[in-house]
Amino acid sequence: MTPQRVLVTAGANGIGLSIAQAFAADGAHVHICDIDPAALKQATASSENITGSICDVSDPAAVTTLFDDVQSALGGLDVLVNNAGIAGPTQPVADYDQAAWNAVLSVNLTGTFAVTQQAIPLLKESLRASIVVMSSIAGRFGYPNRVAYSTTKWGLVGFTKTLSLELGPHGITANAIHPGAVQGPRIEQVMAGRAEVSGRTAEEETQLALANQALNHFVDPADIAALAVFLAGPHGRSISGQSFPIDGDSKAAQ
């Protein structure tokens, strides 16, 4: 079979980069987009199978330009990984800033919608098309003080299920992944921040967080990437409309 043609949004850092590199290592031709030019340059230099574009998915004109680049770089599309998202502020609902609410929705929901809408005609031309949507543990549980983030991540589940029903007749699968806390500098910064507030050490905060789940470790981003590759691969062709937690069996979002 010819190599898969893959688009990963927010693919220059974190989970997105792990996913892009996993597909590239599997022989796929991958195009990533990101808002971080330096990270994008580094990511595309990491593999000859990865190309990239600067794109803010909340900007409709930028999304249109992105798909011009996708067509030029890949010549079509087999897999879309909707990974772009922002967290927004940490505030209770009563105090949540309206502009921040709108910003989170514009990236996490409207941006995902815009990218997917433009991808669908290309995916319909593929004989093995898949969409993977990155939700979150916050799309399974309520998330105190993160109302916009949690709302959008729950919304992406309904979005994914709708895509599955609409696109299934075209042979296109659509599934959501729900990562928990992921290993790396970001979670270390979160634990350090909690330690400053609580007076505990970062290690104590880490153990408190891990006590919320059955497995005593944070999620390896490579495991999330491997799941995305599987869902878009030949053994995932009968899996659609599903949500896959990968969070060490967490009991809540925190």
Active-site positions read 149
Residue pair 175/240 in contact by the 8 Å Cβ criterion: yes
Q: What is the DSSP letter of 125?
A: T
Question: What SS3 class is residue 184?
Answer: coil
DSSP H helical ranges for the chain: 14-25, 37-45, 60-74, 98-105, 112-124, 147-167, 185-198, 202-210, 221-231
**How far is C-alpha 18 from the chain's CA centre?**
11
CA distances 30 to 52, 116, 163, Å, are: 8, 16, 22
Please give the helix or strand (H or E) that residue 134 lies within, else none.
strand 130-134
Place of tokens 């969070």: 247
Say which residues have a Cβ less than 8 Å from residue 118's Cβ, sequence separation at least 6: 63, 64, 66, 67
Token digits of residue 168: 């299934």
Residue among 112, 58, 106, 40 at smallest CA distance from 83: 112
